[in-house]
Every structure is written in structure tokens, then in C-alpha cells.
Amino acid sequence: MENRIVVVTGAFGVLGRAVAQRALERGAFVAQMDRGAAPGAMDAARTFAIPGVDLADPDAARAAFARVGAHFGGIDVLLNIAGGFVWEKVEGGDLAAWDRMYALNLRTAVSACMAALPFLEKSGSGAIVNVGAFGAIKAGVGMGAYAASKAGIAKLTESLAEELKGAVTVNAVLPSIIDTPANRADMPDADFGKWVRPEDLAEAMLFLASQKSRAITGALLPVTGGV
């Protein structure tokens, strides 16, 4: 990842911070995008934070990626982490949850890809890594809206990989439960040792974004820890 220009969406969350930190440790330049406020610069010389960007808005996405391109002189890697989660049964549920999951998990990823592609194709070694979900393979109770949006990520990954074959690699990781403070609070009786550590998921994503995996595209990589 030495001197690669990496964009991390959802960069201010637990996984986004872990990925950005690992990328910096490997010598990358990192652009951090998020809807929220920036938690503070990690390395002022090698990072560029863009807070308050709604990637579901294609105009906002294009403007944000243009800023990154102007700041660093290009973009080599897109790591699509922006997203969200809702647990809600269909019976007694609300279609708003389905719209929200589509917007947060799938629309943001498609919009970011569209905005990044002009830069990635110029890179000569462009890479996209999306975050899907292992639960999209077999969804449990209350997981319908979330799993459906993440299944969309899987199909986006496969289709875009075919579209960009030979120009940009496109892959996705499919994590099970990620070990975050929010998940621990929601499931206090769970065995946290079986969950996926953000640092381990970051390693998998950076491998798929690296030149070591340049022969891999269209892959959906399960990252399930001890589950």
C-alpha cells in the first residue's frame, strides 16, 4: 500500500478508523469520508478528512471525490464501509426501514463507485473493496431489510467486477458480527471472542486492495472469525 491513495467511506466509525489506521501504517495516503464530524486528524501529512458528506447524494459524492483527487493527485483504492444496521421484523414493521437500509448500505456504495471510477481507471492499478455481510447469505429473523441491502452489495460487486475486468479489481468482504462497542451493548450475553475484530477485517480488506491480490476480482470473501 506504499504511497497508494486510498478513500475510506464511513471512515469515522469503528471499522473505518481501523482500516484507515492500517492503511496509514502501510504507507498509504488516506482520504476519510463520513456523514459525521471528524474525530481528529490521524496524520495531517498523509490524511485528508471530508466530514458531513452524504454519499447517497450523487452530486455530493462527485464533489467529495473531486476534492480528494485534487488534494492527492488521484485515487487508487476505494474502500466502501459507509452503512448502517436495523433489526426489524416484517410483521409489524415499516417500509421506511427497507428504504433506509437501501440508502445507507447500497445506494452509498453505488454512488461512491460512480464518483470514484474516473480516478480509479486512470490509476492503472485501481481497486474497490466493498463491505457486504455474511448474514446476506442466510438471513435470520429481523434481518430482512439489512440482509437484502447487503445482498445488493454482493451483486454490485460481481457485476462491477465483470464490467471493469482488466482495469479495476472489485471485491467484497462478508463479515459476520463485528466486535464493536455498539454490538457488545446490544448483545451483552454473546461470546465476543467469536466475533470479528475490526483490525482483522481491516487486514482482509487491505489485502484485497493491494497489488498482492491483483489477480482476484469478483470475490466475495467470508470473514467470520469463530462463528
- Could you tell me the end-to-end alpha-carbon distance of the chain, in angstroms, rounded to an integer? 30
Q: What is the pLDDT of residues 193-211, one digit of tens each?
A: 888 899 999 999 999 999 9
| Nearest-angstrom CA–CA distance, 151 and 105 | 10
Amino acid at 143: M
Contact criterion met (CB below 8 Å) for 136 and 150: yes
Q: What is the pLDDT of residues 137-152, one digit of tens each?
A: 988 999 899 999 999 9
| Nearest-angstrom CA–CA distance, 36 and 52 | 5
For residue 44, is pLDDT > 80? Answer: no
* Closest of 8, 111, 120, 118 to residue 60, by C-alpha: 111
Q: Regarding beta strands 5-9 and 77-80, do their DSSP bridges make them parallel or antiparallel, or are they unpaired? A: parallel
| Nearest-angstrom CA–CA distance, 181 and 175 | 16
**Model confidence pTM above 0.85:** yes
Region 76-89: mean pLDDT is 94
For residue 41, is pLDDT > 70? Answer: no
Alpha helices in the chain (DSSP H): 14-25, 58-72, 95-101, 108-123, 144-163, 181-186, 198-209
From the CB of residue 226, how many other CB atoms can be counted at a distance below 10 Å? 10
From the CB of residue 199, how many other CB atoms can be counted at a distance below 10 Å? 13
Active site (annotated) includes residue 102: no
* Closest of 164, 172, 150, 174 to residue 114, by C-alpha: 164
Question: What is the sign of the dihedral through the CA atoms of 25, 26, 32 and 36?
Answer: negative
Q: Which of 72, 119, 146, 195 is catalytic?
A: 146
| Nearest-angstrom CA–CA distance, 185 and 137 | 25
- Decide: helix, strand or coil at residue 150: helix
* Closest of 76, 97, 83, 64 to residue 153, by C-alpha: 83
For the chain, the average pLDDT equals: 94
Sketch out the chain's domains with CATH numbers. 5-223 (3.40.50.720)
**Cell triple for 42:** 490521524
| Nearest-angstrom CA–CA distance, 145 and 59 | 26
pLDDT computed for residue 131 by the predictor: 98
